[in-house]
Structure 1
Amino acid sequence: MTTTAPPEPSFLRATFGGLPRPFWALWGGTLVNRLGTMVMPFTGVFLTQARGLSLAAAGLVMAVFGAGSLLSQLLAGVLADRIGRRATLAGGMVATAAALLALGYSTTLPAILASMLLLGLVVDAYRPASNALVADLVSPENRPRAFGLLFWAINLGYSIGMTAGGWLAEQDFLLLFWLDAVSCVIFAALVWRAVPETRPRGKPEAGGFGVVLRDRLMVAFTLVVLGNALVYSQTFTTLPMAMTERAGLTTGQFGTAMALNGVLIVIVQPLVSGWLGRRDAARTLATGLAIMGVGFALTAFVTSPTMLAATVAVWTAGEIVTAGIAGTILTALAPAHLRGRYAGLFGFAWSAAGMLAPLLGSVLLETAGQRALWFTVGGIGLASAAGMLALGPAIRRR
């Protein structure tokens, strides 16, 4: 008697099937929220044009925001473990909506500073809770795909939101603040209604991050993440300045080349996420980091929009490879009752890079030139890849 092999799952089923309904509520809320993310990309324009602040005053405001963002991830990580994932995420989104509206209606520098500090504290407070929810809701074998789908939703929503935000900013800045705030409230409502609380039952562990910092493997992984974040953060800090002021590209040429990043992610990432998720996580992440490092190093030779587009394609390929894998490793390292705090330390690395990247990039660009800047950034990417390979055996044992 002959037997037939079961049919191969369709692309749609392989990409989107097998994930629990609460995950899709989280995914849908994330997409809506990113569609409405219109304020932050245009904050500098709002401060200088709509509120008439000097460049120095606008820089001070953004620094205050960065300080709040540093504290945000650590505080939200603790809250996700102490009061619950759902309450932290929904509460953070409602607080973000309030902070956005406060900023939109602020007209004096003290009020703007206070609003931006609050916004920095709450705007990304959802991230540790979201990471913990995915780990709690999704089986280990499906987590790479789930994190990849969230990454895809963020990029899809952000690219559309950026386009709409640029047009709306020309009409009335307050529209941006209201639409962004409404998207935050929708995200909070979706999570509150459709996502159960997943924090492990029992008395939550007291204290802060001491237990996480004693995990040497997690600390080492956080340093790798910091290196990755320092590299990627150049895309919205030093790269625009370097390409327009040193490489001679116009802002239109730069924007067109950078649009390739979003297009490639939206088209390619869903096609490969399932296959990448079945590979060894540490080696996959190391490969992606190395590709990103090479892509940014090649930026040293850019003299035309075509060359910039080619380098964008290279480091975007690395970004696609890493999508979802870092979150998968994070959930493997974290005990269930500490997932919020582990995710908070993970997010802290990204917040720290957001402050360090422009300092590193601008100093190197000014004092040493383009080649030194991009070779250094590429070197950080390759060093992060090497560090990830070195951590691989320990991560597999964990």
Structure 2
Amino acid sequence: MFNLINKYTNTFKGLSREVWWLALITLVNRTGAMVIPFLSLYLTEDKSFTVPQVGWVMTSFGLGSFFGAWLGGKLSDKIGYYKVILGSLFATGLAFVLTQYVDTFAGMCVTFFLLIAVADAARPAFFVALSAYSKPENKTRSLTLIRLAINLGFSAGPALGGLIIATIGYYGLFWIDGLTCILAGLLMMQTLNPKKARISDEEKVVENPIAPEKDFPYLLFLVAFSLFGIIFVQYFSAMPLYYRQAYELSERTIGFLLAFNGALIVIIEMPLIAYIEKTTMSNLQHVVTGLVLTAVSFLVLVITPWAGILIIGMIFMSVGEMIGLPMGNAFALERSKKGRQGAYMGLFTMSFSVAHIFGHNSGMQLIDLLGFENTWLIMGGVGAIATFLVLIVIRIIKRQQLNETVSLSKI
């Protein structure tokens, strides 16, 4: 047992102090992010919205995320990641507190657009900060540590959120979400002030960097990653409804089932990433593995009505997430050019925002029209299309690398 624990802790060695602080800030922020997993239930049960209306609120959520990611990427290159993250945390905290007082459908759509736009402006800035605070050889593990913090917070958040709903109601979630965002901002001011923080990555600025909009393999990867996101986000909007309506699970049980995903990631992801980094497979090949596992997580749900299949599906999704998402992030960071890093990571974040725009709403509309099982089959098909696109990107990049090698040999 001691040897196992020692091997686990060794996977964290070599990461900078600033990355650990960034992870702690993320943990504080994500522990309070309890509204989002329960949003579909909140809107249907507390606000009496219909399922299609919930889908449109989720689309507004996605549009806000898309706009915020674009704005955050631009601002990160112009004013720096620190100001973007700090401003986003404080503004998001205030926005969460105010959101609970909105009752109308139109008002909820506008409110969630603005709330998520402000919140997701920080996402590309976090990637830029992570790159600055990490040595090149540690970037994937640093990214995994941040994801671990996110999922540790997400493990505690839904479980605590279910208890809060059961005791004091939904309004408590908005207050806690808002206050933890503000607390995360205060913690950042104390620990990551750019005048005191140490920059680990001193990469040289590339002359005439390629704009991400002109990088075709990267754009095709973003399309595939958006499709990946579309099936992934079902677990945080459509799937809670499935747990409730098809299996009659309580909010508390749903919270613990979602927390199981985060717990698996906290325990397994860092050693898993440390292991797969030693393999000869590329980041994109690992993305393919993650996509296949995530698609399978939907397909197993139609096999049997046995309630235990929900746990099996969650395991498939969790492992697919642990492999696919961090390696996709690593590919984007690797592909980004210094000086345009904010723009690259802004587009990367926007690709997942597209998933919020179309994923939540399409899931809700498909459930309303075709039922849960047909929707899960369709999601499996979307995963297959995304896998095919990533395989095309792998082939294009290999061809580009071969052409570059031939060109260098002629010099």
Question: Which category describes the TM-score, using the shorter chain as reference length?
Answer: 0.7 to 0.9
CA distance in 1, matches of 2:214, 2:122: 25
Structure 2 counterpart of 1:263: 263
Structure 2 counterpart of 1:357: 359
Structure 2 counterpart of 1:136: 132
Q: Does 1:19 align with 2:21?
A: no
CA distance in 2, matches of 1:217, 1:64: 29
Letter in 1 for 2:264: L
Aligned residue pairs, count: 386
Structure 2 counterpart of 1:185: 182
CA distance in 2, matches of 1:258, 1:283: 27
Distance 1:259 1:29, change over 3 A: closer
**Residue 393 (structure 1) shift:** 5.2
Structure 2 counterpart of 1:250: 248
Where does 1:306-345 land on structure 2 (aligned, <5 Å)?
A: 306-345=308-347
Distance 1:10 1:68, change over 3 A: same
Which digits, 9 at most, give the CA deviation of each residue in 1:47-98, with x for residues without a partner? 5666x56548766655443332221111111111111011111111111012
CA distance in 2, matches of 1:79, 1:61: 27
SS at match of 1:303: coil
Distance 1:42 1:202, change over 3 A: same
Letter in 1 for 2:22: L
Q: Contact conserved, 1:281 with 1:328, CA < 8 A, in 2?
A: yes
Q: Does 1:167 align with 2:163?
A: yes
Structure 1 counterpart of 2:388: 386
CA distance in 1, matches of 2:388, 2:43: 41
Q: Contact conserved, 1:302 with 1:308, CA < 8 A, in 2?
A: no
CA distance in 2, matches of 1:67, 1:393: 32
SS at match of 2:247: coil
CA distance in 2, matches of 1:119, 1:193: 25
The equivalent position to 2:63 in structure 1, one of 59, 67, 92, is: 67
CA distance in 1, matches of 2:100, 2:367: 34
CA distance in 2, matches of 1:104, 1:367: 30
SS at match of 1:378: helix
Where does 1:285-324 land on structure 2 (aligned, <5 Å)?
A: 285-324=287-326
Letter in 2 for 1:25: W
Q: Contact conserved, 1:23 with 1:195, CA < 8 A, in 2?
A: no
Q: Contact conserved, 2:294 with 2:316, CA < 8 A, in 1?
A: yes
CA distance in 2, matches of 1:375, 1:276: 29
**Residue 128 (structure 1) shift:** 0.5
Q: Contact conserved, 1:65 with 1:120, CA < 8 A, in 2?
A: yes
Q: Contact conserved, 1:257 with 1:305, CA < 8 A, in 2?
A: no
Q: Contact conserved, 2:54 with 2:361, CA < 8 A, in 1?
A: no
Please list every run of 5 or more consecutive structure 2 residues that lacks an aligned counterpart in the other structure: 405-411
CA distance in 1, matches of 2:393, 2:87: 36
CA distance in 1, matches of 2:106, 2:369: 34
CA RMSD after TM alignment:
3.5
**Residue 157 (structure 1) shift:** 0.5
SS at match of 1:123: helix
Which digits, 9 at most, give the CA deviation of each residue in 1:110-137, with x for residues without a partner? 7656543321211222211111111222
Distance 1:363 1:296, change over 3 A: same
CA distance in 1, matches of 2:134, 2:204: 21
The equivalent position to 1:152 in structure 2, one of 123, 148, 166, is: 148
Which digits, 9 at most, give the CA deviation of each residue in 1:325-358, with x for residues without a partner? 1111011111121222211111112122122123
